[in-house]
Structure 1
Amino acid sequence: MLSHPSRRTVRGALVATAAVVAAALPTAPATAQPSPADALKKYNELSEKASQLNQDHLKAKDDLAAKQGELDKAKGDLANAQKAEESLRGHVDVLTESTFEGARFNQISALLVSDSQQDFLNRMSAINILAADNAEALKNLTDAVNAADAATKTANDATEASKKLLGEIEAKKADLDKQLAEAQAQYRSLSNTVKNQLANSGDMSNISVPAGTAGRALQFALDQRGKRYVYGSNGPDTWDCSSLIQAAYRSAGVTIGRTSYAQAAAGRPVSRSEVKAGDIIVYYSSQSHVAMAVDGIRAVHASTEGVPVKIADIDSIGPISVIRRIEG
């Protein structure tokens, strides 16, 4: 009769088998370091996402400012409506008091107290005027009450919308901060050689610009070469991509939106083959990055953190979404 092996014997056999299998498998490096190219690619991806979140955050702030303007107007309309209602209500109260004091007469009473036909006609005319005045005052009061109610609703709606936008801003800011932390951590992981390449200001030579608005805007943008990129910055010593473009055209006397989203709708569209100095080039399907054409080949832009404002090949910056011309 065969005896069953003990649990200890079985367990020992399994351990031995596992050791043999493990020894036969290829071993992976304990710490696989990404190549410099992979590290840079990851940094660019994180930076692009941060740029989009930055534009989202800026747009939410613009939306809040617009909604605050609507709220201020609604409050002003409400105050005016309440003032008009108060004034008209006083007018109606006077007419009501006059009615109780006997100021309102009907045709029969006018006929009974009239001394002559002319006196009757005069009394009837006065009665009609008083009635019309009363009716108009009541209508005006009703209109004022309705206007006050509508203004109250508008003000309440604008207040709620502002609160919602404030919540969205806080959420977008939290997302942006998280994304920035990841991008900055990735930047710190880059080699010094790569960091130095990113920090190079590139072509700093004098570049001729055309006359007119586009030329003045381009000159401003070119003058910012070498300045640092900072998310959400509005200059004058640091920029993000859209603040640079907005400030450039502001220096030329033209007002455009603060975000790359707004700038993607400014001016009129032109094709890639038509690009000339001063055109606004918006990148990525998200339209989260923007540059300004130096000519048909190059553009100046504020790229990302760790990279100064510099000139780059138009097509190397990223996939083009739209190209807009402000002048001409």
Structure 2
Amino acid sequence: MASHRKPRQRPLSGGTVRTAATLALAGAATATAFEGTSQADPRPTPAQVEAQVDRLYEEAEAATERYNGAKEKADEAERALDGLRDETARKADQLNAARGALGSLAATQYRQGSLGTAVQLAMAADPQEYLSQASFISRAGDRNAAGISSVRRRLDEVGKLREQAAGRLADLRTQRDELAGRKAEIEGKLATAKRLLAKLTAEQRAAYEARSGVAAPAAAPQSAPPPPSDGSRAARAVAFAHGAIGKPYVWGSTGPGSFDCSGLTQAAWRSAGVSLPRTTYTQINAGRRVSRDQLAPGDLVFFYSGVTHVGLYIGNGQMIHAPRPGSTVRMAPIDSMPWAGASRPA
């Protein structure tokens, strides 16, 4: 019988030992690396949190101005659509009146035993198709021709108005889709900023809000000038801004109970009888550009490279502005943010 002995294991050679050791070390290093990546990221410092929050608020304000622009276009499209619908209704009434008159003429012809083209038109299921295919106007009597021509003209008018209304409706739907996207973008950034701020202690948040101008000031700046009282339009705009101090910032709002930055400046100048466009990037081109050393009360002052923030200059290096969510309308120095330019509404 064959024996069932285990085969003898040969000892590992030097090269094999080194290879095994290398693999073992590599495995240990890999395990260590995985253990390291499984650990939570280190808690951000207060300075890092503040920098991220500042960036998110700036991006949210830029998105707010894009939202304002899209809303302005949507409002314009809606007004145009309403006007087209009203005009279409008027033209349809005129068309019905013209067809009614033509029908009366057709009834008279029928009673007289003359079933003419007017009767055929009045009884047609599709008057437009009948008119486009017929070549009878020149053969019809003067009264028939005039009535048929009137109906044809009004059918064309109503058809064109309905086409225009359909185009405006498509524009409006596009603008509303853009509004929904902008709104989601803004709310997402603000929610992220709120979560980041929650990582700070109460003392750290208070210090950050004081540095960023979000916290309500204990008193008006010592150098803040009184509102001008010369009765000019600029003076009336500044007086309105003074009256808005303390009202909350709400993105997309133009008053009277709350404002965003361009909503405040638009409302202030509207109170003085001057119509400004809705957004920061259109307001900067709405008047005459002025340099920083030529500023006068009532001028619009703009900030950041994307021209995403605006305030109303009131003199002595101060402005009134609506800073950002969580804040209220207040005075602040114009050197508290990166300068972008200034303009003077006409």
User: Is 1:276–1:296's contact at 8 Å kept on the other side of the alignment?
Assistant: no
1:219 is matched with: 239
Q: 1:317 to 1:93 in 2, by over 3 A?
A: same
Distance in 2 (alpha carbons) for counterparts of 1:9 and 1:270: 77
Aligned to 1:194: 208
Question: Structure 2 stretches of 5 or more lacking a match?
Answer: 1-9, 116-139
8 Å CA contact 1:229, 1:308 repeated in 2: yes
What is the CA–CA distance in structure 2 between the aligned matches of 1:18 and 1:303, rounded to whole Å? 55
Equivalent residues in 2 for 1:1-328 (5 A)? 10-16=19-25, 32-96=42-106, 101=112, 131-190=141-200, 191-192=204-205, 193-198=207-212, 199-201=215-217, 203-205=220-222, 207-210=225-228, 211=230, 212-236=232-256, 238-295=258-315, 297-320=317-340, 322-327=341-346
1:49-89, Cα deviation, whole Å (9 max, x unpaired): 10111222233222222211111111111111111112212
Cα displacement (A) at 1:244: 1.8
Tell me the equivalent position of 2:6.
none
Amino acid at match of 1:293: Y
Letter in 2 for 1:51: E
The alignment's C-alpha RMSD in Å is: 3.7
1:180 counterpart SS class: helix
TM superposition shift of 1:262:
4.3
Query: Could you tell me which residue of structure 2 aligns to residue 123 of structure 1?
Result: none
Secondary structure, aligned partner of 2:24: helix
Tell me the TM-score normalized by structure 2. 0.72
- Alpha carbons 1:240, 1:302 under 8 Å: kept: yes
Moved more, 189-198 or 152-161: 189-198
For 2:16 and 2:158, locate their aligned partners in 1 and report how far apart those are by CA, in whole Å.
Answer: 88
Deviations along 1:184-218, one digit per CA (max 9) or x if unpaired, are 22333452322333315274456223321211211
- Percent identity of paired positions between Structure 1 and Structure 2: 27
Following the alignment from structure 2 to structure 1, what is the Cα–Cα distance between the partners of residues 239 and 197? 31
Preserved contact between residue 275 and residue 296 of structure 1 (Cα < 8 Å): no
Contact 1:195/1:306, CA 8 A, preserved across alignment: no
Deviation of residue 324 (structure 1)?
2.5
TM normalised by structure 1 equals 0.75
Structure 1 distance, partners of 2:29, 2:91, is 89
- Structure 2 vs 1, CA of residues 71 and 22 (structure 1 numbering), >3 Å: closer, same or farther? closer
What is the CA-CA distance between 1:99 and the residue it aligns to?
5.7
Q: Quote the Cα distance in structure 2 between the aligned partners of 1:272 and 1:143.
A: 60
Name the SS for the 2:315 alignment partner.
Answer: coil
Q: Distance in 1 between matches of 2:297 and 2:22?
A: 78
Number of equivalent positions: 299
2:124 is matched with none
- Give 3-state SS (helix, strand or coil) of 2:331's partner: strand
The answer as to whether partners of 2:254 and 2:266 remain within 8 angstroms in 1 is no
**Matching residue's letter, 1:323:** A
Q: In 1, distance between residues paired with 2:317 and 2:22? A: 71
SS in 2 for 1:305: coil
Q: Which amino acid aligns with 2:54?
A: N
CA contact (8 A) 2:225 2:316 kept: no
Q: How far apart in 1 are the matches of 2:272 and 2:79? A: 27
In structure 1, the gaps of 5 or more residues are: 105-129
Q: CA deviation at 1:167?
A: 1.9
Offset at residue 95 of structure 1 (A): 4.2
